[in-house]
Amino acid sequence: MTVQTAIAPASFRAGDHIVYPAHGVGRVTGVEKQMVAGHPLEVFVIQFDQDKMTLRVPTAKAKSCGMRPLASAQVVGDAMKTLTGRARIKRTMWSRRAQEYEAKINSGDLISIAEVVRDLHRSADQPEQSYSERQLYESALDRMARELAVVEKINREQAIAKLTHSLTLKKQAA
């Protein structure tokens, strides 16, 4: 049984967009009090429209699980600048790099996600990506685009176009 509460904790309110590390951008739809194992528990109810998923996160655990507000304009600017930087690809086995990229994507940190996008981006004149490289690239690009879209109040396609444009600037500057 859940009871909807009108007052949300000061950190997040109904209608706020947030970033949950493992799922990306979601929107807080409310705060509920639930009984779990006989104990009252207050949870944020978060809707992820892109995944058609609802997540309930205990309000006391929101910070420790990495849930955060959307990136500031400065962080977005730093992430965009990261895209224009030089790719830093370690000379380790792909399986190890793939794990590191996955960890960066799931960290929820916009700069780390931008590093994955930058490092895995391939222009038309570069060798084809493997399937797993392409999957990680698409995942990172999508995560970054969704946050950029909400922050800049544009749609996802416009955000992807903006990110792709920044990646091509990198190529032209080299």
Check residue 8 and give its pLDDT: 38
Instruction: Read off the pLDDT band of 172 (50, 70, 90).
Output: low
Check residue 1 and give its pLDDT: 42
* Prediction pTM value: 0.87
Q: How far is Cα 99 from Cα 25, in angstroms, rounded to an integer?
A: 22
Decide if pLDDT at 161 tops 50.
Answer: yes
State the angle between helix axes of 73-83 and 131-152 in degrees (0 to 180), rounded to the nearest 10.
150
**How many helices (H) and strands (E) in the chain?**
5, 6
Q: Which whole number is the average pLDDT over 59-73?
A: 93
Give the CA-trace dihedral at 98, 103, 108, 114, to 10 degrees.
-40
More confident position, 122 or 170? 122
List every span in the chain annotated with CATH 2.40.10.170.
2-69
Smallest Cα–Cα separation from 71: which of 9, 17, 130, 141? Answer: 17
User: 73-173 adopts what CATH topology?
Assistant: Methane Monooxygenase Hydroxylase; Chain G, domain 1 (1.20.58)
Q: How far is Cα 125 from Cα 147, in angstroms, rounded to an integer?
A: 29
List every span in the chain annotated with CATH 1.20.58.1290.
73-173
- The dotted CATH code for 2-69 is 2.40.10.170
More confident position, 96 or 4? 96
Instruction: Read off the pLDDT band of 11 (50, 70, 90).
Output: confident
